Copies of this chain bind each other. A is one copy, B any other.
């Protein structure tokens, strides 16, 4: 084994770590490469040896955060012991809302990532992590007639967007605990309505 490579990986991790803090704190544009170099004590050459550019460094940070969030969410859902689609979705939404309250997640994943990575790439990541889980559970709900099968995809997107939105609302609220409570009630009610079995095809007024 090459000790140089271990050292390289260590500095790479260190760069991601420091960059995560800075990006979360000042945003992508507000964070200069200079600042990262200063905080890490690295040189330009070293950074550009590990990452082809600022955007790729950011991308590495996004993937790191995404992974951590995914693991936390999964842990929270399994810890809830839910088995029914409604409970699973509720647990997932609430977990996501709590996670998205964290500035690191909010700023990096929700605010900057779509712009920096281009939202095409961002969608791929989201589909890989959050959307996939939602679709799986919604498909179960569709199999038991709680949701139209052809709208699983659309409903998954709606659920994902709703979670993000509520998380941002909470973050913006003056009274965060109150907003959190309201949002959780909204999730509960929202899911109850969305998953209700359809007796007759979509009604018209």
Apart from A158-B158, A189-B202, A196-B196: 9 A-B pairs, beta carbons within 8 A: A29-B29, A87-B205, A151-B186, A151-B190, A154-B186, A158-B186, A158-B190, A161-B161, A185-B202
Q: Is A115 an interface position by the 8 A CB rule?
A: yes
Instruction: Tell whether, in the assembled complex, residue B166 and residue A164 are in contact, meaning their CB atoms are under 8 Å apart.
Output: no
| 11 A-B residue pairings within 8 Å (CB atoms) | A27-B115, A29-B29, A111-B114, A151-B182, A151-B185, A151-B189, A154-B183, A154-B185, A161-B164, A162-B162, A185-B202
Stoichiometry, copies per complex: 2
List which A170-205 residues lie within 8 A (CB) of chain B.
172, 182-183, 185-186, 188-190, 192-194, 196, 198, 202-203, 205
Contact pick for A193, options B162, B183, B198, CB 8 Å: B198
Contact pick for A192, options B111, B150, B153, B203, CB 8 Å: B203
Instruction: Tell whether, in the assembled complex, residue A150 and residue B182 are in contact, meaning their CB atoms are under 8 Å apart.
Output: yes
Give, as a whole number of angstroms, the nearest-CB distance from A101 to chain B. Answer: 14
Q: Is A66 an interface position by the 8 A CB rule?
A: no
Give, as a whole number of angstroms, the nearest-CB distance from A119 to chain B. Answer: 6
Instruction: Tell whether, in the assembled complex, residue B111 and residue A155 are in contact, meaning their CB atoms are under 8 Å apart.
Output: no
Q: Is A135 an interface position by the 8 A CB rule?
A: no
Instruction: Tell whether, in the assembled complex, residue B151 and residue A157 are in contact, meaning their CB atoms are under 8 Å apart.
Output: no
Q: Is A21 an interface position by the 8 A CB rule?
A: no
Q: Which residues of B sit under 8 angstroms from A169, Cβ to Cβ?
A: 154, 157
